[in-house]
Amino acid sequence: MDKAIGQAEANRAGSDDPEIAALRAHLEAHNGIKGLEILQPGDTGHAVDLFRRDGFVVIANALNDEQTEILATGCREVTAEILALDQSRKGNRGSHRYSFGGCSLTRSQLHRPEWQMLLDIPVVTEAVTAIFESSDYVLRAASGDFCLPGAVEYQPLHSDVRDWQAPATTPFSAFHDPRGQLTIRDLPCPYLCVNFLPQAVTRLNGPTRQIPGTQHSRVPIPSLADEPEWMRLSTVCPAPAGAIMIRDVRAWHGGTPNISDAVRAIPNLEFYAPWFREPIVPGITYRDFKKLSDHAQRLVRHCVADSGETLVTGATLRAP
């Protein structure tokens, strides 16, 4: 990612503060999941096993150098558009934190060619097909997030999917057992997220913390005040640029401090299992849809706008 932007944000955030210096030393010494396995393309069976055990898996070398740079360039451009709307850096996911989807008028970045490129990455296709045991999964959205230097707070642990709620509360919930016996956590993975790394993720630049095995947990997610220190340090790092992290969205996860001098971005693709659906917001025009590969068209078939519809794209700090 752009070091100039990152350094400017680091200077603006006051990175020489003694408390930040102490946090930096602590994270350098202790941050990261001990024994984190980072797989290579082709080790699909082991990837599925780790995903089902831990709720996430990391695979290196999913993107080549050219693809990684293309994606990094796209992230820089979108980041600049969003930051131009937020001079105070309030963010839309907490201070100095932003959602690529939440900051888009379409809730997605699928209209961008850099995100469209990700639809045809062979390692992703192989792994997601193996996890769902089917190739009939579909795209939910093309999104992700980024955090700036100066994001010094921990984001509360959370899960990205929930049981059914009334439409007046949220359109994004789809599972309801009227008997009250089953929750979405009792099911196989209903949808997953593939995060792509356009830069290395380090102990200091805001690595995602993942709490292994929580995708099926029914116990309450701890608040920041109650979260034990080991959970705060349970971060997916270090991980190299060009890698992917595939996550069961039910697993507990959250953002961590970025006290580096660079922006950390993790753009993503989100996929629904063949048997699961929630409302999907159109994210690509019919004209651009027709330019995609046959494989990509199958994935995004529920995300395409009608041929006569104008898709309004652009940055916003509040999704529609």
Mean pLDDT of successive 10-residue stretches along the chain, which has 320 residues: 61 72 96 98 98 98 98 98 97 96 96 98 98 98 97 96 79 81 94 98 98 97 98 98 98 98 98 93 96 98 95 84
Structural domain boundaries in the chain:
3-299
Whether this model's pTM surpasses 0.85: yes
Per-residue tokens: 6: 């990152």
Q: What CATH superfamily is the domain 3-299?
A: q2cbj1_9rhob like domain (2.60.120.620)
Contact 244, 214 (CB under 8 A): no
pLDDT at 124: 98
Q: Which of 212, 188, 189, 207 is nearest to 197 (CA)?
A: 207
* Alpha carbon distance 172, 182 (integer Å): 18
Q: Going by C-beta distance under 8 Å and a sequence separation of 6 or more, which residues neighbour residue 19?
A: none
End-to-end CA distance of the chain: 28
Amino acid sitting at position 283? G
CA 78 to chain centroid: 15
What are residue 269's DSSP bridge partners? Answer: 142, 194
pLDDT at 318: 72
* Helix/strand/coil (H/E/C) assignment for every residue in the chain: CCHHHHHHHHHHHCCCCHHHHHHHHHHHHHCCCCCCCEECCCCHHHHHHHHHHHCEEEECCCCCHHHHHHHHHHHHHHHHHHHCCCCCCCCCCCCCEEECCCCECCCCCCCCHHHHHHHHCHHHHHHHHHHHCCCCCEEEEEEEEEECCCECCCCCCECCCCECCCCCCCCCCCECCCCCCCCHHHCCCCEEEEEECCCCECCCECCCEECCCHHHCCCCCCCCCCCCHHHHCCECCCECCCCEEEEECCCCEECCCECCCCCEEEEEEEEECCCCCCCCCCCECHHHHCCCCHHHHHHCCCCECCCCCCCCCCECCCCC
pLDDT at 17: 84
pLDDT at 283: 97
pLDDT at 49: 98
* Alpha carbon distance 112, 33 (integer Å): 33
* Alpha carbon distance 115, 108 (integer Å): 9
